[in-house]
A and B are shown apart, each in its own frame.
Chain A
Amino acid sequence: MSEYVQTPEEEGGNTMMPAPPALPGAVPAAGAHGGHQPERGPDTGGGLYRQSNLRRRSRNIRSRLAHALCALSTVIAMVPLALILFYVIYQGAGALNFSFLTSLPKPVGESGGGMGNAIAGSLILIGIAAVIGVPFGVLAGTHLAEYRSPRLSWIVRLLSDTLSGVPSIIVGVFVYTLLVLTFKQFSAIAGGVALGILMLPTVARTTEDMMRMVPDTLREASLALGIPRWRTITSVVIKTAGGGIMTGVMLALARIAGETAPLLFTALSSRTWPMGLDKPVASLPVQIYTYAISPFDAWHKQAWAGSLVLVLMVLLLSIGSKLYFGRKMQRAR
């Protein structure tokens, strides 16, 4: 609860501590500074701090009201998340078992089968995306934070903000024309590139923010030792900001892990194990989508189980990054 809430002792302050009789000739302010804890009781003789009981009560009521409103909004915001989690677990847990994680999908009508290939495919796609998104994103962020050339930074920041606002399906279409049409082949690489592009702005922006949080005194300390600029950036700035950058990367990965639209016409899907980076691959979100819109009950169940796996993956990534960052910060203190 807020520290602002009054303690009973304080509330009783004015009854327990009656106003001292005003000394003849005493300046009112002298009483206020005379050690009677003037800011606490309104009637202890301090003209400066005098406040009517009514006003104080109204301030308290308003404070509590604001507090209650904040709490209520938080609860309202949390409800959908809790419901989603609960519902996905409730629906998905039944169909989830070891063979679901490791086996291929079965044809319609046959029981059993799983999404092993989709899980593997998703991991491959995320891996390719990371290989593209992390280095370029971190480098772009480093440029924005460290080499402060106003014109170029302005352009890069504008482009990066625009890119983060582009709907993911547009990025999919772009990669489709760029790679799929050119090589006449849906492929894991095309899917990974699309996801990598989606990661870029998030990674660049967090990198920039985290590097800007590194105080200039550390850069100066390093440069004053005769350490060159690039070495200062890699060994002092990036090292100090590393935990935060890591968190940004993991959150970006968590975000793209659930992207469906850009994969529909880049990585496509597949009912086999991944056959190579230049071949279509299955992925969890696309598989969930396909199964969810199918007319078969067994597939619906599997879609729920797949959703549960996906949610767990994302949760693991974001909780893991929080823990990692938390530990890093503790070490820094």
Chain B
Amino acid sequence: MAGHVTTSSLSASFGDIQAIDDVTVEIPANKVTAIIGPSGCGKSTFLRCLNRMHELVPGAKISGEVVWDGKNIYGPGMDATEVRRGIGMVFQKPNPFPLMSVEENVSAGIRLTGGRMSKAMVAEIVEHSLRLAALWDEVKNKLHKPGGGLSGGQQQRLCIARALAVQPDIILMDEPCSALDPASTQKIEDTIDKLKQNFTIVIVTHNMQQAARVSDSTGFMLAREMGDPGRMIEYGPTNKIFTMPDRKETENYITGRFG
């Protein structure tokens, strides 16, 4: 099954500041993995290392391995754009392309990554992706309206559809609901639940209830002190992390004692 990722001794830094240190985890295919932890613990950096987005920041450095279905994505001969096509990303704030219509937004990935495709084929992928993202019924009459005209929750699902259209194995979500209201959050969580049949999902979230609701396994990250790099304190099945964590820090965090 495609979409299996393991990291070994993954460390990343911005210039002189080390953001994460020695993260070794195994992310199973077709499951939802949640990464939780207080602000500044490196969860987003960890996520961005998984599809080579971290290296876009000037001064970024990475060491260790990220192995995606047997290939080290930082290995020689690996193309960053190829990696990102297989490992898509949804960001914290919905960021549809403002001058593109709903349809153009969804098809952007397939239109702009080379490869020619017939119009009918593109239309089919657009519809399929929008259906997967549970947005089709709401936008099928507005396909040619600007994507920026949708509501915040719809924009975020548009971004999910846009990521799905490139047909990745894995979708990384960086706090996808933090800018949304509860009703939109609910819709996105339902979408995540359906998507895991076909995709591996890694979701970074501030919201522990959300992690408990949507994920199969959970990783807890923590930077011990300000300026310390974030480490993966505990990683395991979500049930276990939230009911009987092995580590004191995890327990303190999930019981709301800090963070």
Q: Inside 8 A of B84's CB, which chain A residues have their CB?
A: 223-226
In whole Å, how far is B97's beta carbon from the nearest beta carbon of chain A? 6
1/0 per residue A213-225: CB within 8 Å of B?
0010110111111
In whole Å, how far is A216's beta carbon from the nearest beta carbon of chain B? 9
- Residues of A317-333 contacting chain B, CB below 8 A: 331-333
**Which stretch from A17-25, A228-236, A246-254 is at the chain B interface?**
A228-236
Q: Inside 8 A of A236's CB, which chain B residues have their CB?
A: 97, 108
Bound CA–CA A215/B91 (angstroms): 13
Beta-carbon contact of A235 and B112 below 8 Å:
yes
In whole Å, how far is B101's beta carbon from the nearest beta carbon of chain A? 10
Q: Inside 8 A of B82's CB, which chain A residues have their CB?
A: 226
Bound CA–CA A218/B99 (angstroms): 11
- Which A residue's beta carbon lies closest to that of B98? A332
Contact of A332 among B93, B112, B148 (CB under 8 A): B148
- Is A62 an interface residue, CB under 8 A from the partner? no
- Is B58 an interface residue, CB under 8 A from the partner? yes
Bound CA–CA A221/B163 (angstroms): 9
In whole Å, how far is B2's beta carbon from the nearest beta carbon of chain A? 16
Beta-carbon contact of A224 and B112 below 8 Å:
no
Contact of B99 among A220, A232, A331 (CB under 8 A): A331
- Residues of B55-83 contacting chain A, CB below 8 A: 56, 58, 81-83
Beta-carbon contact of B99 and A332 below 8 Å:
yes
Beta-carbon contact of A217 and B93 below 8 Å:
yes
In whole Å, how far is A145's beta carbon from the nearest beta carbon of chain B? 14
Q: Inside 8 A of B113's CB, which chain A residues have their CB?
A: 225-228, 231
Tell me how many residues of B have a C-beta within 8 Å of chain A. 29
Beta-carbon contact of A221 and B95 below 8 Å:
yes
Beyond A226-B82, A227-B113, is A220–B88 a contact (Cβ under 8 Å)? no
- Is B241 an interface residue, CB under 8 A from the partner? no
- Is B232 an interface residue, CB under 8 A from the partner? no
Q: Inside 8 A of B112's CB, which chain A residues have their CB?
A: 222, 225, 227, 231-232, 235
Beta-carbon contact of B89 and A224 below 8 Å:
yes
Bound CA–CA A239/B91 (angstroms): 21
Bound CA–CA A220/B56 (angstroms): 9
Bound CA–CA A221/B108 (angstroms): 10
Beyond A231-B112, A333-B148, is A226–B97 a contact (Cβ under 8 Å)? no
In whole Å, how far is A143's beta carbon from the nearest beta carbon of chain B? 16
From A221, A231, A333, residue with most partner B Cβ within 10 Å: A221
Contact of B91 among A217, A232, A240, A242 (CB under 8 A): A217
Bound CA–CA A224/B176 (angstroms): 15
- Is A148 an interface residue, CB under 8 A from the partner? yes
- Which A residue's beta carbon lies closest to that of B89? A224
Beta-carbon contact of A220 and B53 below 8 Å:
yes
Chain A interface residue number, banded: 20 to 34
Beta-carbon contact of B148 and A240 below 8 Å:
no
Beta-carbon contact of B146 and A331 below 8 Å:
yes
Beta-carbon contact of B95 and A217 below 8 Å:
yes
Q: Inside 8 A of B83's CB, which chain A residues have their CB?
A: 226
Beyond A148-B58, A225-B162, is A220–B108 a contact (Cβ under 8 Å)? no
- Is B35 an interface residue, CB under 8 A from the partner? no
Beta-carbon contact of B163 and A224 below 8 Å:
yes
Beyond A217-B91, A220-B95, is A226–B53 a contact (Cβ under 8 Å)? no
Beta-carbon contact of A226 and B81 below 8 Å:
yes
Beyond A220-B56, A221-B159, A332-B148, is A226–B95 a contact (Cβ under 8 Å)? no
Beyond A223-B53, A235-B112, is A218–B88 a contact (Cβ under 8 Å)? no
Beyond A220-B53, A332-B148, is A225–B95 a contact (Cβ under 8 Å)? no
Bound CA–CA A224/B159 (angstroms): 11
Bound CA–CA A51/B53 (angstroms): 54
- Is B13 an interface residue, CB under 8 A from the partner? no
Beta-carbon contact of A224 and B88 below 8 Å:
yes
Contact of A225 among B85, B93, B148 (CB under 8 A): B85
Beta-carbon contact of A225 and B99 below 8 Å:
no
- Which B residue's beta carbon lies closest to that of A236? B97
Beta-carbon contact of B91 and A220 below 8 Å:
yes
- Is B222 an interface residue, CB under 8 A from the partner? no
Bound CA–CA A217/B112 (angstroms): 17
A-B residue pairs, 7 tightest by C-beta? A226-B85, A225-B109, A224-B89, A226-B84, A217-B95, A221-B95, A227-B112
> Could you list 30 examples of A-B contacts with CB < 8 Å?
A148-B58, A217-B95, A218-B98, A220-B95, A221-B96, A221-B162, A223-B81, A223-B84, A224-B53, A224-B88, A224-B91, A225-B84, A225-B108, A225-B162, A226-B82, A226-B86, A226-B88, A227-B81, A227-B108, A227-B109, A227-B112, A232-B112, A235-B112, A236-B97, A239-B97, A239-B99, A242-B99, A331-B99, A332-B148, A333-B148
